[in-house]
């Protein structure tokens, strides 16, 4: 299959590209390298350095005969979305809409969209949140993701596009960017490697559902199949406090450091945890990575990278 992966030089996207190519697919990557890195792009992928809103994007569809889209290109910082909602909307809403227009024009039938669970459900009514939980985003980032989901429903009804919406919890792992929702893991790793105290915003008892990037990649592989359509949570159904994650990373580092506590940031919810049972029931997906090992592997990745 000829697949376009937007954001394919980024943290999650680059891992997906590697796996798609390993599975025998032909992959084109669109990334403006604002947060992605060129060296992450698989050598067998065709690389296009451009923005989603660039008029030349249509040339990729013509040249590469795109049959499916995996859409990960985004402004990924909740904090940045709060600081500049218009910028967030231009990239995450308008950019996505232009991509969907091209998909309709070139009769692309399959789209996998990277959405969000934590930022979409907001302060949850129950834990873990399933896909039927009310969507009550507390940040422009979450609002934008929900808006694109609504557009995907429109294009499904009117252009026979088959969307698979994957609502991620907090993704962590090797190649992680420090700006995403789960960027706390990458930030803490880098602080520890510099012998700095990990900085926690708030009291550290806020919880998140941390899922490994390798489990997320497996979800994106399952999402390619023709019978995988609809909206699915991709998480672990387990809450872990920021304090607990910090303690595990400090243990991995082997350093005698303690966290520093700063005031909480606006736009971040207190608890977040999503239910993956629907995805498991329909398509057999479930998380397999154990958190303490995953965090240790992530720390080791950053340690190895710092020595390069």
Where are the chain's structural domains? 2-171+210-234, 173-208+238-273+288-307
CATH H-level superfamily of 173-208+238-273+288-307: UDP-galactose 4-epimerase, domain 1 (3.90.25.10)
118-166 pLDDT per residue, tens: 889 989 999 999 999 999 998 999 999 999 999 999 999 999 999 999 9
Tokens of 38: 């060129």
Structural tokens at position 197: 């105290």
pLDDT beyond 60 at 182? no
Q: Categorise residue 279: left if φ over 0, alpha if ψ from -120 to 50, beta otherwise.
A: alpha
* Residue 67 · residue 108 · CB < 8 Å: yes
- For residue 265, what pLDDT band results from cuts at 50, 70 and 90? confident
Residue 308 confidence (pLDDT): 64
Q: Are 53 and 68 in contact (CB under 8 A)?
A: no
Residue count (the chain)? 308
Tell me the per-residue pLDDT of 53-106, one tens digit each, with 9 for 90 and over: 999 999 999 999 999 999 999 998 888 898 999 999 999 999 999 999 999 999
Q: What is the pLDDT of residue 267?
A: 64
Q: Provide mean pLDDT across the span 199-204.
A: 96
Residues whose CB is less than 8 angstroms from the CB of residue 218 and which lie 6 or more positions away in sequence, other chains included: 285, 288
The pLDDT value given to residue 16: 98
pLDDT value for 185: 95
Residues annotated as part of the active site: 141
Percent of the chain as helix, strand, coil, to the nearest 5: 45, 20, 40
Provide the pairing of β-strand 207-208 with 240-241.
Answer: antiparallel
Q: Does domain 2-171+210-234 have CATH number 3.30.70.100?
A: no
Which distant-in-sequence residues (6+ apart) come within 8 Å of 87 by Cβ? 75, 80
Q: State yes or no: pLDDT of 204 exceeds 80.
A: yes
With beta carbons less than 8 A apart as the criterion, state whether 144 and 81 touch: yes
**Residue 180 predicted with pLDDT over 60:** no
- Encode pLDDT of 290-308 as tens digits: 999 999 999 999 999 887 6
Mean per-residue pLDDT, 180-186: 75
C-alpha angle with apex 254: 253 to 258, nearest 5 degrees? 80
pLDDT digits (tens, 9 = 90+) for 10-37: 999 999 999 999 999 999 999 999 989 9
As a whole-number percent, the residues of the chain with pLDDT over 90 amount to 90
pLDDT at 269: 81
Burial of 108 (0-12, 13-18, 19+ CB in 10 A): buried
Residue 181: per-residue pLDDT:
55
């Amino acid at each position: 299959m000829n697949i376009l992966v937007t954001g394919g030089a980024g943290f999650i996207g680059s891992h997906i590209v590697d796996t798609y190519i390993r599975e025998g697919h032909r992959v084109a990557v669109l990334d403006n390298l604002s947060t992605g890195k060129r060296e992450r792009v698989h050598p067998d992928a065709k690389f296009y350095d451009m923005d989603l809103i660039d008029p030349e994007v249509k040339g990729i569809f013509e040249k590469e005969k795109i049959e499916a889209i995996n859409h990960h290109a985004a402004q990924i910082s909740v904090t940045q979305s709060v600081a500049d909602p218009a910028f967030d909307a231009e990239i995450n809403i308008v950019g996505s809409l232009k991509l969907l227009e091209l998909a309709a024009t070139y009769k692309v039938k399959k789209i996998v969209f990277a959405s969000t669970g934590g930022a979409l459900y907001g302060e949850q009514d129950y834990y873990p949140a399933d896909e039927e939980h009310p969507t009550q985003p507390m940040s422009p980032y979450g609002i934008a993701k929900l808006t694109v989901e609504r557009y995907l429903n429109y294009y499904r009804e009117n252009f026979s596009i088959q969307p698979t919406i994957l609502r991620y919890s907090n993704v962590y792992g090797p190649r992680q960017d420090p700006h995403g929702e789960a960027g706390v893991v990458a930030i803490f790793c880098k602080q520890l490697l510099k012998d700095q105290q990990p900085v926690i915003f708030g009291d550290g008892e806020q919880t998140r559902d941390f899922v490994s990037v390798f489990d997320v990649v497996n979800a994106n592989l399952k999402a390619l199949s023709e019978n995988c359509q609809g909206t699915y949570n991709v998480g672990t159904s387990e809450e872990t406090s920021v304090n607990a994650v910090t303690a595990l990373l400090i243990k991995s580092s082997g350093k005698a450091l303690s966290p520093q506590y700063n005031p909480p940031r606006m736009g971040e919810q207190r608890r977040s945890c999503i239910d993956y049972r629907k995805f498991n029931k329909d398509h057999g997906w479930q998380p397999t990575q154990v958190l303490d090992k995953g965090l240790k592997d992530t720390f080791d990745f950053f340690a190895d990278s710092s020595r390069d």
